[in-house]
Each structure stands twice: as structure tokens, then as C-alpha cells.
Amino acid sequence: MASVTSLTATVHQRLAAALTAALPETADADPLLRRSDRADFQANGILALAKKAKANPRDLATQVVGGIVTGDVIKDIEVSGPGFLNITITDKAITENLASRATDPAGRLGVPFTDQPGTTVVDYAQPNVAKEMHVGHLRSAVIGDAVVQMLEFVGETVVRRHHIGDWGTQFGMLIQYLDEHPHELDHEDAQVTGEEAMSNLDRLYKAARAHFDSDEEFKTRARRRVVDLQAGDPKTLAAWQKFVDESKIYFFSVFEKLDMEIRDPDIVGESGYNDMLDETCRLLEESGVAVRSEGALCVFFDDIKGPDGNLVPLIVKKSDGGYGYAATDLSAIRDRVFNLKASKIVYVVDARQSLHFKMVFETARRAGWLNGDTKAEQLAFGTVLGKDGKPFKTREGETVRLVDLLDEAVDRASAVVREKAQDLSEEEIAERGAQVGIGAVKYADLSTSANRDYKFDLDQMVSLNGDTSVYLQYAYARIQSILRKAGDVRPVAHPELELAPAERQLGLHADRFAETVAEAAEEYAPHKLTAYLYQLASLYTTFYAECPVLKADTPAQVENRLFLCDITARTLHQGMALLGIRTPERL
């Protein structure tokens, strides 16, 4: 037993039972229970149910009230308006419920595991080899990581897949150039940093590109290299591997800066499906899902047309025999369904690729690879905008390097930490600055629903007031400082005590943690968790202003308030951890 029945669930069950007793013919009657300002909860479902049963709503409501036992959990239940129910919870039940969360032996704060866990493949954090990472890659990594953590926390089996761009015709050019300038990727010492790796790759890319654009013979040699690469020529593959390895040094350095665990075996890039491409095409062609059109192997869709009104196909194999992005993604689906046994596949990818995924998923459905047992969906995210509301660019109009952005966030955050710091050493300021700065970037990304665009505004992100991670981190640190000051006095729940209004609000909200995590995980919606945590911190702020903790009236009240502080802190810590954000003990 690790899970704790929340007060919402208990009240819901009781209302549903009373409703069924009053209306035996209505199965699964939903009382539509909501948190409310007037009482603790309000049930809004009676009106509709009465209408359906042709009963008087107020009479039905009164009958339901008559069927509810009050005292232990429900303190008060009354009919209001045309047939709403207002419900108040006992203080005792609030404290007791939190106490069972606090003592959950598994340390999960009473969050249950899902009833029917499956296997979810999450495709996220997928940068491209030999290319600089940008804000789009940031979003995929940050959102994907939160989704992975939340799903794992509720007991889902998660397979992480980093579908990096490590294949394609551009490698012909790079490999050919490296072949002609063989020492360009040599390292003098083994400890090359991510920055160095990226600047090596960048230099090489630019040089290769310049050759490719100006030298027709080089172009021909580069094209031949593509053929060699696809044919698996060992020397060509070895050169290709150098690019991949160099890029991984860079990727890992960025992920480390992002304070994010990315594991090498989970990196299965486009090249990982090479062996499957032929068969994928054969299966599609044999089943008639794909057809030959102007030499290419294509899948057509009635509803997908270009601006000229002609159908736009998904090209699985080009007329020159080459495979593109679609063939790889279709093969990846086969791998994920048949080898990894996925029940769900989630793609955390830019909304600008939605048409691609729509076509890929529909193709896989027609081929029978996706069906009722396995669902694929794109968790599409919007564009990161600059302060001016336009897609985020440097002043010169270039794409912003992710690393520069993260460094700046950390600098700004360090300034904030330094200003507020009371007893922190320089080393601590640097460490906290990173935790606050990276947290700020992640939180800003996660706190708007993924499909919306958001403005990358560092001033706002590191602001101490408002819906920011810093605000939550300070709330957490403030609680830790109170707990330290309490010395030998420990948090103890006292269900016998009456609660002040701010204590009740805080307690009722803390009790909803499990439901929030379940919902956010189920819907791949980290923003529901951030909204919950922000509200928790805000309620804590009110509580802190209204209810003295260490100077409370009685020793029992001191202990009980410390208990409220402690459960709030643990909830903040756990919630933030699921989002990949640290909660420093001191700030």
C-alpha cells in the first residue's frame, strides 16, 4: 500500500454512491466535483442528472445530502441554488490525509502507480550531427525529459529514443572533405570539450560547403561518397563515425549543461534503421499502401494537397533510389512496435513537422503497423519567440546558439542569487546560479502548454515574483530554512487541531498532488504540473504570511505547522524533480 486516497476521490465516491442510491437506474452517475471558493468542493452534476431522470433537481440534491454520512471526512454538505451541493471537509481529515502522504513508506507522497502500465517510447532530444543545437532542440529535450520522468514515476515502462539526424546526403560532402583533409578532426589531447568539438565540426562544415558550392569536381566526388556510404563501404563508414562521435561530445556537453541525463544506448539515430529501409519499402509497395509515381515510391492522401491543388505525397523512396526522412521514420515505427513492443509512441517534435508525422502515422496505420494496440502521437511544440514576438534570432538574424542562451541564463540567475545570498560562498553561488538559471529556462518552457509559442524573455524567467521556477525554488529554500531553525522541534501532524483558513487551503491543495501528477503524465502535459506547483507555492506564501510557524500559540501547533511546511517542501521538491528542476536547500 503506497497510495493514499485523496479527499477529492473519497468525496467523489461517497457522492456517487448516494447518487446511485437515489437514482438506481443511472449507472456511473458523475457528481462533477470541483474545488470551489464557496466551500471546499462543489458538485455540479445533479442538475443534468435530474433533468435526464425527469426529477426535480433540488429534491434530488436533498435526497443525496440525506444519503451522506457526515463527521469523519465530510463536515458539512448543503444544497445551494437550483441543485448544487456545497461540501466542506473536516480539518481532521485534511491533516490525516496529509499525514498518510508524508509517511508513505515508498517516499512517493502517496502517488499511486497507474492501473495498467504499458510501454511508451518517447522520441525526444534529437539534435543533428555536425550541426549546432538551437532552441527547437531545447524544447524537445526539456519537454521530453519531463514527460519521461512523469511517466516513469507513475509506473509506465519508458523507452527513450533520441532520433538524431545522423544520415543523409550532406555526409557525402563532409566525408569527402575529411578524406581530402585527413587531420581536421584529430585531437591533440583526448579531453576535447563540447565547445571545441562543435567549433571543429562547424569549421569543417563551412569549408566543405564552400568546396561543394564552388568546385564541380568536388561535388561529383561528394556525391559518389553518398553512394559509398549507403553501400556500407568500411572506410567511408569510419569517417562518418568520426563525425558522429565528435558530435556526441558536443551533444553530451549541452545535455550536461541542461542538467539532463541522456544515455548513449538510447541514441538511435536515423542511421540505426538502415537495415530496415529496403524491407519497409517492399512491404509498403506489396500491400499497395505505396505506389510508384514518376519513379518515386509514394503514399497519397485524399486530404493533403499543395497550394496548386495537386496531391502532395509522402515520398518513401526517391526516384534516384535514395531514402529520406519518411523511410527512416516508418522503419523506426516498425522497430518500436514489433521489437520494442510499444503500446504508445510519443514524438516530441516541432509543430512545423506536423504534416510529416500526420502522413507517416497514416501510412503506418494503412500498413497495419499502428492499430488499436499501438498508438502514435506527436507532442507538437510551438516556436520559441524573441521579446519582439518574432521567431528567436540574433540581432544579425542568425539562429541563436543554444549554449550561448544557457550561459546567459546562468549568468543572469547567478546575479539574482548573489544579490539575495546571505551566507553563500562563491562556489555555492556558482552552483546555485546554474541550478536557478537552467531551472528558469526549463520552467518557462514547461509552464506554457507545449503547442503554444512562447517568448524567451530572460528578465521574466529569473524574476522572483510570478510564475517562475525561481519563485518556487525560493519557497522551497525558505521552508528548509524554517525547518533548520526549528532545531530539535520536528514536524508532527496533529489531526486534532483546528486549522486556520490558509492552512486548510494549503492542505487541500497539497492533497491533490497525486491526481495532478497522474493527469499531467496521462496527457503529456507538464504545464499542469507547473500550474499546480505554482499554486502550491502561492498558497504557501499566504500561509506563511498569516500563520506564524515557530511562534505559533502552542507546541502542538508549532509541530503541525512545521508538518505543513515539510509536506509542502517535499511536494515542491518531488514535483520539480519530475520537471528536471533542482530545489537547492539554501538560496
Chain positions contacting ligand ARG, by CB under 6 A:
123, 126, 128, 163, 165, 329, 332, 347, 349
Closer to ligand ARG by CB, 20 or 353: give it: 353
The pair phi, psi for residue 89, each rounded to 5°, is -95, 150
In whole angstroms, the minimum distance from the beta carbon of 236 to ligand ARG comes to 22
Which residue is it, cell 437550483? 82
Gap between the Cα atoms of 533 and 158, Å rounded: 24
Nearest to 122 by CA among 150, 86, 81: 150
The sign one gets for the Cα dihedral 501, 507, 508, 513 is positive
Closer to ligand ARG by CB, 16 or 122: give it: 122
In whole angstroms, the minimum distance from the beta carbon of 379 to ligand ARG comes to 11
Closer to ligand ARG by CB, 161 or 442: give it: 161
In whole angstroms, the minimum distance from the beta carbon of 547 to ligand ARG comes to 49
- Contact present, 184 and 200 (Cβ < 8 Å): yes
Q: What is the layout of strands, in order, in the sheet containing 344-350?
A: 157-161, 119-123, 344-350, 375-381
In whole angstroms, the minimum distance from the beta carbon of 126 to ligand ARG comes to 4
Closer to ligand ARG by CB, 165 or 580: give it: 165
Beta strands in 196-354 (DSSP E): 291-293, 296-299, 314-317, 344-350
3-state helix, strand, coil in the chain (%, to 5): 55, 10, 35
Closer to ligand ARG by CB, 128 or 469: give it: 128
In whole angstroms, the minimum distance from the beta carbon of 350 to ligand ARG comes to 6
Alpha carbon of 124 to those of 142, 273, 346, 558, 587: distances in Å? Answer: 9, 17, 8, 46, 32
Closer to ligand ARG by CB, 370 or 486: give it: 370
Which residue is it, cell 509522402? 314
Closer to ligand ARG by CB, 112 or 165: give it: 165
In whole angstroms, the minimum distance from the beta carbon of 211 to ligand ARG comes to 25
**Local structure of 539: helix, strand or coil:** helix
Nearest to 581 by CA among 469, 444, 415, 501: 469
Q: How many CB atoms lie within 10 A of CB 95?
A: 22
In whole angstroms, the minimum distance from the beta carbon of 329 to ligand ARG comes to 5
